[in-house]
């Protein structure tokens, strides 16, 4: 980076840049600080930047220097002498706004965002530029935006934290019980051991002994607190994230874009979603805009009629307008109504003015490629569609500078002087340009939302307004995006006065935005209506199927869009969110809080009144207890209702005294559509549901206006569409098409939740079974804090012997495969109801672990009581007892995880059975003479494993312990599946039945009988016909052929059915059973020959 210093240019590091420095940037360099652009290599002080690091948008944006500073050029001496003073706003994080004034050479010049290059941008297509540092270091807007990110946690995370605290309390209770036991034991029994242990009278206090025992047992029993649980959970989540990244069925080949899990902490919450908040444009639709229709001066263009004058669909058989006569026309442009071209050729002034406005009123930048073709850099697909339409119809936008716009009108280059640009924002919902044409006339051209622009029309437009409004309703009914088009002729004197006030407002420091907005409002009035445009944005592939599937999974979809109501409703019907079978569709369109509240009240009365009238059981009304403050009435209506509310009504509905009514009604509806909403309102709706419904929410969008909604929801999903990557950068998960949401939730989300819950249940069970054996042993060892296991076993149990099997189950397990998860969305509901892991399930796991620990301790203890081994020696020693219990524990927990595993892979087999093998290999190694000889103090159990595990009675004890631990679980699960099967159990059972059917069919017996039956039936009928005296010579070969053809088709259908069964069950016929296929082929071939040549058979 070059820094101008002492009339020369020198290289400097970023860290040394400070406010007021003038630096030089070259093409493809990153900007080191927030700069005021002074000059550049391009004409008129223009430069092009890429802001992907700031907002994710890869399209180039233009910045231009003040005309007074662009004259400085690359003259280092003049730049070094630059002594302008900038008075500007304080450092802030607003990337799209800058307010300041440059004072230089006795004059003031207003500064805005178009004059500033922010840190993080990259200079593109510009050889060099110079700028003065406005903000540096932490004051830059990029660094101001790098604040603390809100960390999202799942409900399972919060529950785990609670349970760990409970377990810690449980550990303290165990320690207290054992400490009290030790004090009692020391007081009553311990005195008898003082002489043996060489203690003096009164040397050891029983209370102090209990105190020391408490801390000893806290250390011994600490394994009940699952410290390693958090590490294991993160490993499992990482594996689930990789599965999402590697899923080829979520890979979009059109853009070579795979799915991306941008976080590893929320995977299981994908299986608990209840509400989905979706943007429309670019999310449900492609956001690839196509100019379809327009209304100019009360006439619709874009409809194609047949010879009878009836409307017909536009087909590619007709030649698109402008392709044959305009060499610069876009070949992909599809507009087939040639009446518009005829009006252009006839010189219709309204049509010309309409197209002229489209070519002038925009923010598009143009450049030529190597082939000399015009390439448009657009910030919005809508603008690109309109400018491209004007280009194909003869009004070609060529270039722009800070002071001019050049277009080609029907072959003639015309340059307009750009006097003012009134930019678009979410509040204005319109944009305007003021230009002076070559004849000296000043024109204001404006386009924007019809509801906004129609309020600013001259009264003389009343008739045209009515006609155009009807056309807009027709366009919106077809799902097209509409804009109104208007203009105004300005008086030269009036404009000069207005422009002087605008310059003063721009130079102001206080209330600058309010003054500018007021001036914009003043000049954008008394407009003359020209017409309207209609742009098509098609639904993405698979949207209908995805919406239907998510609805079956009991997921409610709310659409939050900035489009007008008619367009949103039409898209709702196209997506099957809205249907004609719905009981009612409530439309809230009040203009005041009182009207909105009244409309909400009437909608609820209407809904409840209809529910009472239904007696067929399809609608259920449940009213729960009255709620406290800041909550909503928990009323659930099962029925098909929809709510549609527009932006200005939503603003009132989100007020404190009305929002509960809104939420109460909305949550009882199957579909909610919010139209004309701002980005802030999107976030407010999400927060409303998130706060009051206690439900897991997901927001999905593709543009910068969806970022606040994505960040507000529990889970944010970004679609890498046509509006850059800002939504993706703010999201937790990202992919290229809305249809992938179905697989993300119903497959990956459900699997992640299922696996995590099963992992947690087993992990808690294993820890309780392992640790509580020490507790029971304490009652038999004088509460002396003696461990029941070998120290090495305690160390290796969670790390080596049982860590990998549970990880394999948590990463790979599945109750049904991905296709069945997609085909049966109802399987998703247990996650929404949080059925698989909750406090109740935790206490069941705890009870299971306690029972297992009792069996593990008392069966070996009872079996070893006064028992001699096969050699007649006593085997009830501590070390043999410890080895027997440790071996029983490893086998029991391994059998238990084998029972818990629903889906076996080679990894599961290796980890489960390999863990048992590893245990025995380590056991014999640590109890070997050689290791004891090297480390006698660390491995005191020398020879014990070899001695104990060669005794048959030891193995009988291990077997009895395993059976007693596992059989109740097996019996309980068998009865539960048989008497109270879940939907998942039913699905697996049906699949097993189909699999057995396929195995029977593929076994060869069934198909041998079938082929034999086909052959005998065919030959038998032919023989019968030949022997029938009533038929004689009248029998025709064709009759025989038809009957045998029926048999042929029957056999063929059987084979097709079998292939289908193989496919849906994901089974392969064993090679030894493949012979039936050859028999079928031979039989079919024979029948085909017979049918083809019946006269020879």
pLDDT one-digit tens code per residue, 229-274 = 999 999 999 999 999 999 999 999 988 899 999 998 999 999 999 9
Show the DSSP H helices in 374-457 as ranges.
381-392, 450-453
Distance CA 111, CA 133 (A): 14
* pLDDT score recorded for residue 1076: 46
Distance CA 452, CA 564 (A): 11
In the structure, how many helices (H) and strands (E) does the chain have? 38, 36
Q: Is 1042 helix (H, G, I), strand (E, B) or coil?
A: helix
Using an 8 Å Cβ cutoff, are 289 and 535 in contact? yes
* pLDDT score recorded for residue 938: 76
* pLDDT score recorded for residue 92: 85
* pLDDT score recorded for residue 1069: 45
Q: Which residues neighbour 180 within 8 Å (Cβ) at sequence distance 6 or greater?
A: 210
Residues known to be catalytic: 279
Distance CA 600, CA 581 (A): 22
* pLDDT score recorded for residue 1035: 42
**Measuring CA to CA, which residue among 377, 519, 387 is closest to residue 447?**
387
Annotate 448-475 with b (16+ C-beta within 10 A) or e (fewer).
bbbbebbebbeeebeebbebbeebbebb
β-strand partners of 858: none
Distance CA 286, CA 574 (A): 14
Structure tokens at 1071: 């090679």
Q: Is 11 helix (H, G, I), strand (E, B) or coil?
A: strand
Using an 8 Å Cβ cutoff, are 626 and 570 in contact? no
Structure tokens at 967: 């059989």
Structure tokens at 333: 């442009």
Place of tokens 């404006």: 446
**Measuring CA to CA, which residue among 586, 720, 690 is closest to residue 640?**
586
Structure tokens at 1097: 């058979």
CA distances from 105 to 89, 123, 486, 811 (A): 22, 29, 41, 70
**Measuring CA to CA, which residue among 764, 954, 969, 762 is closest to residue 859?**
954
DSSP character at residue 393: T
Structure tokens at 157: 């995370």
Q: Which residues of the chain have pLDDT under 50?
A: 307-309, 314-317, 322-324, 612-635, 1018, 1021-1038, 1041, 1061, 1064-1097
Annotate 20-50 with b (16+ C-beta within 10 A) or e (fewer).
ebbbbbeeebebbbbbbbbbbbbeebbbbbb
**Measuring CA to CA, which residue among 1034, 1011, 792 is closest to residue 923?**
792
Q: Is 316 helix (H, G, I), strand (E, B) or coil?
A: coil
* pLDDT score recorded for residue 308: 44
Place of tokens 């046509």: 722
Structure tokens at 606: 């209407």
* pLDDT score recorded for residue 996: 61
198: left (phi over 0), alpha (psi -120 to 50) or beta: left
CA distances from 298 to 171, 312, 321, 466 (A): 81, 21, 21, 9
* Contacts of the segment 1055-1058: beta carbons below 8 A, 24+ positions apart: 1055/1080, 1058/998, 1058/1001, 1058/1002
Structure tokens at 1002: 């593929």
By the 10 Å C-beta count (0-12 exposed, 13-18 middle, 19+ buried), 498 is classed as middle
* pLDDT score recorded for residue 624: 37
Distance CA 131, CA 1073 (A): 79
| Secondary structure (H, E, C), 539-598 | ECCCHHHHHHHHHHCCCEEEEECCCCHHHHHHHHHHCCCCCCCCCEEEEECCCCHHHHHH
Using an 8 Å Cβ cutoff, are 671 and 578 in contact? yes
pLDDT (tens digit, 9 = 90+) per residue, 791-846? 889 999 999 999 999 999 999 999 989 999 999 999 999 999 999 999 999 999 99
DSSP 135-146: E-GGGSHHHHT-
Using an 8 Å Cβ cutoff, are 830 and 256 in contact? no
* pLDDT score recorded for residue 629: 32
pTM for this model (two decimals): 0.73
Q: Which residues neighbour 1005 within 8 Å (Cβ) at sequence distance 6 or greater?
A: none
CA distances from 134 to 37, 298, 511, 852 (A): 10, 51, 21, 70
CA R_g for the chain:
39
- Lateral strand order in the sheet of 696-701: 260-261, 733-735, 715-719, 696-701, 273-278, 556-560, 671-675, 641-646, 584-588
Helix (H) or strand (E) holding 88: strand 85-88
DSSP character at residue 350: H
């Amino acid at each position: 980076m070059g820094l101008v210093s002492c009339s020369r240019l020198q290289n400097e590091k970023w860290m040394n840049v400070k406010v007021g420095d003038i630096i030089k940037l070259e093409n493809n360099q990153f900007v080191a600080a927030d700069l005021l652009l002074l000059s550049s290599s391009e004409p008129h002080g223009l430069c092009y930047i890429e802001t992907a690091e700031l907002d994710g948008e890869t399209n180039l944006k233009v910045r231009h220097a003040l005309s007074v500073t662009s004259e400085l050029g690359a003259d280092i001496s003049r730049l070094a002498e630059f002594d302008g003073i900038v008075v500007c706003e304080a450092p802030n994080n607003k990337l799209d706004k800058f307010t300041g004034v440059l004072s230089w050479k006795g004059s003031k010049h207003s500064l805005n965002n178009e004059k500033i290059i922010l840190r993080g941008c990259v200079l593109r297509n510009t050889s060099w530029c110079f700028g003065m540092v406005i903000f540096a270091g932490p004051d830059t807007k990029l660094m101001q935006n790098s604040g603390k990110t809100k960390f999202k946690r799942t409900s399972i995370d919060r529950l785990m934290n609670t349970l760990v605290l409970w377990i810690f309390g449980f550990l303290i209770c165990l320690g207290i019980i054992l400490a009290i036991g030790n004090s009692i034991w020391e007081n009553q029994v311990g005195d008898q051991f003082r002489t043996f242990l060489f203690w003096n009278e009164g040397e050891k206090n029983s209370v102090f002994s209990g105190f020391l025992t408490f801390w000893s047992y806290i250390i011994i029993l600490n394994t009940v607190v699952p410290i390693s649980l958090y590490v294991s959970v993160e490993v499992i989540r990482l594996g689930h994230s990789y599965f999402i990244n590697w899923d080829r069925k979520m890979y979009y080949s059109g853009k070579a874009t795979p799915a991306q899990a941008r976080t590893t902490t929320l995977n299981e919450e994908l299986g608990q979603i209840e509400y989905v908040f979706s943007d429309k444009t670019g999310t449900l639709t492609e956001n690839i805009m196509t100019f379809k229709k327009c209304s100019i001066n009360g006439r619709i263009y874009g409809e194609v009629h047949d010879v009878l004058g009836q409307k017909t669909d536009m087909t590619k058989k007709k030649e698109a307008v402008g392709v044959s006569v305009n060499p610069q026309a876009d070949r992909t442009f599809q507009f087939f109504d040639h009446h518009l071209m005829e009006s252009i050729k006839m010189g219709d002034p309204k049509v010309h003015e309409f197209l002229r406005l489209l070519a002038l009123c925009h923010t598009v930048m143009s450049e030529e490629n190597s082939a000399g073709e015009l390439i448009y850099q657009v910030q919005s697909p809508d603008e690109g569609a309109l400018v491209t339409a004007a280009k194909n119809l003869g009004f070609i936008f060529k270039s722009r500078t800070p002071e001019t716009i050049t277009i080609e009108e029907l072959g003639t280059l015309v340059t307009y002087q750009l006097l003012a640009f009134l930019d678009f924002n979410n509040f204005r919902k319109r944009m305007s340009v003021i230009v002076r044409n070559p004849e000296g006339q000043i024109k204001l051209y404006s386009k924007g939302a019809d509801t906004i622009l129609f309020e600013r029309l001259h009264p003389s437009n009343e008739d045209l307004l009515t006609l155009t409004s009807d056309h807009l309703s027709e366009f919106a009914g077809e799902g097209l995006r509409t804009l109104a088009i208007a203009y105004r002729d300005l008086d030269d004197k009036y404009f000069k006065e207005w422009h002087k006030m605008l310059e003063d407002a721009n130079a102001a420091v206080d209330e600058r935005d309010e003054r500018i907005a007021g001036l914009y409002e003043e000049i954008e009035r008394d407009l003359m209506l020209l017409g309207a445009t209609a742009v098509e944005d098609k639904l993405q592939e698979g949207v209908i199927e995805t919406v239907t599937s998510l609805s079956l999974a009991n997921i409610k979809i709310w659409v939050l869009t900035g489009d007008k109501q008619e367009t949103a409703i039409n898209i709702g019907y196209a997506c099957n969110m809205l249907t004609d079978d719905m009981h009612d569709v409530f439309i809230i369109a009040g203009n005041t809080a009182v009207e909105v509240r009244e409309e909400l009240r009437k909608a609820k009365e209407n809904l409840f009144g209809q529910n009472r009238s239904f007696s067929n059981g399809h609608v259920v009304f449940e009213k729960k207890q009255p709620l406290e403050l800041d909550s909503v009435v928990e009323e659930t209506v099962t029925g098909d209702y929809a709510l549609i509310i527009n932006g200005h009504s939503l603003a009132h509905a989100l007020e404190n005294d009305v929002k509960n009514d809104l939420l109460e009604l909305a949550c009882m509806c199957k579909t909610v559509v919010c139209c004309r909403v701002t980005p802030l309102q999107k976030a407010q709706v999400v927060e409303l549901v998130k706060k009051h419904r206690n439900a897991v929410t997901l927001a999905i969008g593709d543009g910068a206006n969806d970022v606040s909604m994505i960040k507000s929801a529990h889970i944010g999903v970004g679609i890498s569409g046509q509006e850059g990557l800002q939504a993706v950068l703010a999201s937790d998960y990202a992919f290229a098409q809305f249809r992938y949401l179905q697989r993300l939730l119903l497959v990956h989300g459900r699997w992640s939740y299922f696996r995590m819950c099963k992992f947690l249940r087993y992990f808690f069970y294993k820890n309780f079974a392992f640790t509580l054996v020490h507790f029971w042993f304490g009652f038999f060892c004088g509460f002396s804090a003696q461990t029941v296991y070998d120290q090495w076993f305690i160390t290796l149990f969670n790390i080596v012997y049982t860590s990998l099997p549970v990880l394999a189950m948590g990463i790979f397990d599945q109750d049904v495969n991905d296709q069945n998860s997609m085909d049966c969305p109802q399987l998703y509901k247990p996650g929404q109801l949080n059925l698989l892991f909750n406090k109740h399930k935790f206490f069941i796991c705890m009870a299971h672990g306690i029972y297992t620990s009792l069996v593990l301790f008392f069966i070996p203890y009872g079996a070893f009581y006064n028992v001699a081994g096969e050699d007649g020696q006593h085997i009830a020693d501590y070390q043999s007892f410890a080895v027997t219990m440790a071996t029983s524990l490893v086998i029991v927990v391994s059998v238990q995880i084998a029972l818990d595993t629903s889906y076996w892979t080679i990894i599961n087999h290796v980890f489960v059975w390999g863990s048992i093998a590893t245990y025995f290999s380590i056991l014999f190694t640590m109890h070997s003479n050689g290791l004891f000889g090297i480390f006698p103090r660390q491995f005191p159990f020398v020879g014990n494993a070899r001695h104990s595990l060669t005794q048959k009675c030891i193995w009988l004890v291990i077997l009895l312990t395993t059976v007693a631990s596992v059989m109740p679980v097996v019996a309980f699960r068998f009865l539960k599946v048989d008497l109270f099967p879940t939907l998942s159990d039913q699905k697996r059972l049906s699949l097993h039945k189909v699999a057995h059917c396929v195995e029977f069919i593929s076994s060869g017996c069934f198909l041998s009988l079938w082929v034999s039956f086909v052959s005998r039936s065919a030959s038998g009928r032919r023989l019968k016909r030949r022997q029938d005296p009533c038929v004689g010579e009248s029998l025709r070969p064709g009759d025989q052929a038809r009957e045998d053809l029926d048999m042929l088709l029957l056999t063929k259908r059987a084979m097709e059915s079998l292939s289908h069964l193989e496919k849906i069950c994901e089974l392969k016929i064993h090679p030894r059973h493949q012979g039936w296929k050859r028999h079928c082929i031979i039989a079919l071939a024979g029948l085909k020959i017979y049918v083809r040549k019946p006269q020879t058979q």
